[in-house]
Amino acid sequence: MLEFKRLKAWEIALNSCIRCGYCYEHCPIYRATGWESDAPRGKLIILHGLLHRRIGLTTDTGSKVFQCLGCGQCEKACSSGVPLLDIFQDARADIMDTGIEVKGTLAETDPQKCVACLNCLRVCPHEARYFQDGIVLTDPVKCRGCGSCVDTCSAGAIKFETALAADRGLIEDQIREFVENHKNDKKLVVFSCNWSTYPGLQHARFSAQENAEKEREPYKLFVTACAGRLPMELPLKALELGAHGVLVVHCPSDQCDHEGADRAKARITRLRNFLSQAGMDPERVRTAEAPRLDTKAFSSAVSDFLRYLGSPGKKAATGDSV
């Protein structure tokens, strides 16, 4: 019997959501997928439906609330003061009590690879890892998808099915589409940390657009959970798919709660070395620091990079692929 005991306590709060959608522009998941059912308002509507048994609990309906990075931007933007994070947290707990399988922006452990070193347990800032039956597992209620565990795992046993805010396949498809639509342009793919440049993002997009005097966006932006969570393969894949440059935007080290900035920088340094060794221009992959809400840092990093890619004589501008 489904009870939604914890969620029941939020009934008034669910009613107080006026469904204005002011949360949309702030949600990295919605920004990545563009579907209203992935936005915070959509999640509240689903929870309302589950609570009142207007929709049944299935992996599909139950999983939505697990597709959330817990950044809390929605709550700050909420026109009705709905405590979304607490509601999502309680809903997750209720749903896990039912034993259904859920999918989300959650760390997953490969039992074949886990050597039970317990390092991830120590580094997880959300106490979302626990030891059971010889392996370390994720508590889906607590996991915020920050990726700290992935980096610390020397056995390579932890992964995210959805590497960023959206699923990996979708990101690759979007890069492909972007490259296809910008055949004659310099093509820049930007991975930007949700915690740093967001939510000044929309602003930045247009300033950079203006600088480049392009009708369409001269670069493709993906919002990542934490820059530290970006696996090295993705920037590499972007180059392989035809991007001329990849920019990874992260918080200043002292502002990052996940040590993500340092991890991102280290990873990109490795990638640059790799490019050098392969005889390619390492400048095609860069990192940039953007303090929270500082849109200028973001847009000037993008504009600088675009200028670099467009400058004559640079190898990058020829569009050689990896």
Ligand X SMILES: Cc1cc2nc3c(=O)[nH]c(=O)nc-3n(C[C@H](O)[C@H](O)[C@H](O)COP(=O)(O)OP(=O)(O)OC[C@H]3O[C@@H](n4cnc5c(N)ncnc54)[C@H](O)[C@@H]3O)c2cc1C
- Which residues would be at the binding site for other proteins (CB under 8 A)? 12, 15-16, 18-22, 24-25, 34-37, 41-42, 45-46, 48-49, 52, 54-56, 58, 60-61, 63-64, 78-81, 170, 173, 202-203, 206, 209-210, 215-216
Give the separation between CA 159 and CA 233, rounded to whole angstroms.
13
Q: State the binding partner of 52 from ligand X, other proteins, none, CB within 5 to 8 A by kind.
A: other proteins
Judged by CB, which is closer to other proteins: 55, or 100?
Answer: 55
Cβ proximity to ligand X, 23 vs 150, nearer residue: 23
Residue 116 near ligand X by CB under 6 A: no
> What DSSP character marks residue 117?
-
Whole-angstrom distance, CA of residue 228 vs CA of residue 74: 22
CB count in 10 Å sphere of residue 226 = 28
**Least distance from C-beta 11 to other proteins, angstroms?**
8
For residue 209, the minimal CB distance to other proteins (Å) is: 8
Distance of CA 55 to CAs 17, 51, 72, 228, Å? 19, 9, 26, 37
Task: List beta partners, residue 138.
Answer: 129
Among 3, 15, 20, 210, binds ligand X (CB under 6 A): 20
Taking the complex as a whole, how short is the minimal distance between the CB of residue 289 and other proteins, in angstroms? 24
Say whether residue 34 binds ligand X (CB under 6 A).
no
- Contact between 179 and 241 (Cβ < 8 Å): yes
Residue (23 or 179) nearer to ligand X, CB: 23
Beta strands, E only, the chain: 107-109, 129-132, 135-138, 158-160, 188-193, 219-224, 245-250, 285-289
Classify strands 285-289 and 107-109 as parallel, antiparallel or unpaired. unpaired
Which partner from the list ligand X, other proteins, none does 3 bind, CB cut-off 5 to 8 Å by kind?
none
CA dihedral 219→220→225→228, nearest 10 degrees, is -60
Strand spans (E) along 196-254: 219-224, 245-250
| Closer residue to ligand X (CB): 21 or 310 | 21
Query: Could you tell me the smallest distance in angstroms from the CB atom of residue 39 to other proteins?
Result: 8
How many residues can be counted in the chain? Answer: 322
Q: How far is the CB of 79 from ligand X (least distance, A)?
A: 6
Q: Residue 136 and residue 22: Cα distance in Å, rounded?
A: 38
Q: What token pair was written down for 216? A: 């369409």
Is 115 near ligand X (CB under 6 A)? no
* Residue 173 interacting partner from ligand X, other proteins, none (CB closer than 5 to 8 Å by kind): other proteins
- Minimum Å gap between C-beta 220 and ligand X is 24
Closest distance to other proteins from the beta carbon of 45 (Å): 5
Task: Tell which positions 38-97 bind ligand X, by CB under 6 A.
Answer: 79
Measured between alpha carbons, how far is residue 288 from residues 23, 98, 124, 265, 281 in Å? 27, 44, 25, 9, 17
Beta-bridge partners for 250: 289
User: Quick one: what does residue 274 bind among ligand X, other proteins, none, with the CB cut-off 5 to 8 Å set by partner type?
Assistant: none
User: Closest CB to ligand X among 16 and 253?
Assistant: 16
Shortest Å distance, C-beta 38 to ligand X: 17
The two tokens of residue 148 are 């700290």
Contact 47, 41 (CB under 8 A): no
Cβ proximity to other proteins: between 77 and 137 the closer is 77
| Residues of the shown chain interacting with ligand X in the complex, contacts defined by CB under 6 A | 20, 79
